[in-house]
Amino acid sequence: MKAIIDRFEDNNLAVLELNDQSGNMLTISRHKLPSNACQGDILYYQDGVWTIAEEETTQRQNDIDELFNSLLVRDDNEDDSYQDDAYSKDE
């Protein structure tokens, strides 16, 4: 089973989003996870043990960062275009 750590609650619970269906959540005791588990980590459950998929987690974070940065660049370009239009109307 594959899951992503959505959040931690009350310092002892982990809420996981299961990969089988969007929005399918599972709440487990935090102590069942590796001690270094963080929000956003991708996990696999096999033979009664949760393990962090380090490479997948890193790739996912890189993909999210790239998407976020592309949105910032696009937003900056739209702001520049708006300002150019505003100046040309005043002239």
Residue 38 identity: C
Is 22 part of a structural domain of the chain? yes
CA distance 25 to 40: 14
Please state the domain count of the chain: 1
Task: Let me know if residue 45 belongs to a domain.
Answer: yes
pLDDT of 84 higher than 60: no
pTM (predicted TM-score): 0.74
- Please answer whether residues 15 and 9 qualify as being in contact, where contact means their C-beta atoms are separated by less than 8 angstroms: yes
Domain residues for 13?
2-69
Output phi, psi for 44, to 5 deg. Answer: -125, 140
According to DSSP, the β-strands at 13-18 and 25-29 are: antiparallel
Residue 42 falls inside a structural domain: yes
pLDDT at 83 over 70: no
Q: What is the pLDDT of residue 35?
A: 96
- Asked if residue 90 belongs to a domain, the reply is no
What's the pLDDT score for residue 59?
97
